[in-house]
Structure 1
Amino acid sequence: MRTALEVDLTFDQVLALVKQLPKQEKIMLTKELEKEGIETKLSELLRTFRTTDLSLDIINEEVEIVRKQIYDSQKH
């Protein structure tokens, strides 16, 4: 049987614990923190660009317009 344990620690206490870790575990911790930060930033970015105003039909229309412009410019 496992019991969840919750401990209130200050930033300074956590920092003191991290400083006690071996170098390899500090590197692993850094990578995990970076990954969490990247995931957070990516989620924010995706939320920023989410829209209901854009459909696949609109995208396809724009693609065809640009393709035609590129084709026309290569002919001249």
Structure 2
Amino acid sequence: MESTIGLCKTELIKPRRPWKTLSQVELATAEWVDWYNHSRLHGETGHVPPVEYETNYYTELTKPQVTTVI
């Protein structure tokens, strides 16, 4: 969590300062979190957004297993 907070500060909070209101920070943070969770491409997941990767993971997990009888 600490690295995510640090990333948010580096990518969002510091470059846009000075902030005029708390509401501006809250809205920008909500937008950044949405982007972080739904749109960003991550190298460890094959450059697939996190939500798509998680959906694919659970889809594969719930597929029926094929077994063969010899």
Instruction: Return the TM-score normalized by structure 1.
Output: 0.37
Q: Which protein has the larger Cα radius of gyration, Structure 1 or Structure 2?
A: 1
More helix by share: 1
Higher relative contact order, structure no. (Cα contacts within 8 Å, ≥ 6 residues apart): 2
